[in-house]
């Protein structure tokens, strides 16, 4: 199923359709402020396993992140952090960053590595944030492109649909995506350690 949703003005009926798929344990592909992502409801363990299978990842070793609606959601899943970190997050989010935190017990075991960390995103994209808001849970997310290889199907929703239509329950067409991944920042030691340079420039928020 290909569902067209406009980022500037997401159609509530189309959002509800995507949310219903996720609530029933479905897997969807959706736009973010960087590359298109593939994911599911954080509470649906079988769906998380399916996402890993589609992407060829081992669940216990996969560095899966999840998408929250805003900073309020983040605090449920991460151990407390200081006001300096909070101020930077408030300025940088929503934005093209993945922040890695120490995880709380609310994070499903499949998502926290042996180090008990979790990656969190609040993308600057109204479509996926509205889906998360209506769902009431974060969405587990991983990008659909290979990190080292920028391929056209990563950015064109119709080509994404052609490739993945038999593997996922829906592809959300939010227009052309970007082909640069998010900037990954490790906050587990309380400092801003950029471990992957991507679309986001952290320096301007520090």
- Residue 170 sits in a domain of what CATH number? 3.90.870.10
The reported pLDDT for the residue numbered 107 is 79
CA distances from 31 to 130, 165, 199 (A): 12, 16, 15
Pairing status of strand 183-186 against strand 97-102: parallel
| Rounded CA separation 172/206 (Å) | 34
For residues 132 and 41, what is the distance between their CA atoms, to the nearest angstrom? 9
| Angle formed at CA 19 by CA 4 and CA 33, multiple of 5 degrees | 55
Mean pLDDT of the chain: 90
Domain count, the chain: 1
Domain assignment present for residue 116? The answer is yes
The pLDDT of residue 199 is above 80: yes
In a domain, 204, yes or no: no
Per-residue model confidence as pLDDT tens digits over 101-149: 998 888 777 666 566 888 999 999 999 999 999 999 999 998 886 555 5
In a domain, 53, yes or no: yes
- pLDDT per position as a tens digit, 49-76: 999 999 888 766 777 899 999 998 888 8
203 occurs within a structural domain:
no
User: For residue 55, what are the contacts with CB-CB under 8 A and spacing of at least 6?
Assistant: 38, 62, 142, 144
**70 found inside a domain:** yes
Q: Is residue 201 part of a domain?
A: no
pTM summary value = 0.91
Residue 202 falls inside a structural domain: no
> Which domain range does residue 119 map to?
2-196
Tell me whether residue 115 is in a domain.
yes
């Amino acid at each position: 199923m290909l569902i067209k949703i406009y980022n500037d003005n997401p159609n509530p009926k189309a959002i509800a359709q995507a949310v219903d798929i996720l609530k029933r344990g479905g897997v969807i592909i959706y736009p973010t402020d960087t590359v298109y992502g593939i994911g599911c409801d954080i509470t649906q363990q079988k769906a998380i396993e399916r996402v890993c299978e589609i992407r060829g990842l081992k669940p216990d070793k996969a560095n899966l992140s999840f998408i929250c609606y805003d900073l309020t959601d983040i605090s449920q899943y991460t151990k407390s952090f200081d006001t300096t970190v909070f101020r930077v997050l408030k300025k940088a989010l929503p934005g093209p960053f993945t922040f890695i935190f120490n995880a709380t017990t609310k994070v499903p075991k499949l998502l926290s590595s042996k180090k008990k960390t979790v990656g969190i995103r609040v993308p600057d994209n109204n479509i996926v944030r509205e889906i998360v808001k209506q769902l009431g849970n974060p969405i587990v997310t991983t990008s659909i492109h290979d990190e080292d290889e920028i391929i056209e199907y990563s950015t064109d929703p119709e080509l994404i649909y052609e490739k993945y239509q038999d593997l996922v329950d829906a592809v959300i067409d939010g227009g052309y995506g970007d082909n640069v991944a998010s900037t990954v920042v490790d906050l587990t030691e309380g400092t801003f350690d950029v471990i992957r340079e991507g679309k986001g420039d952290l320096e301007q928020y520090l």
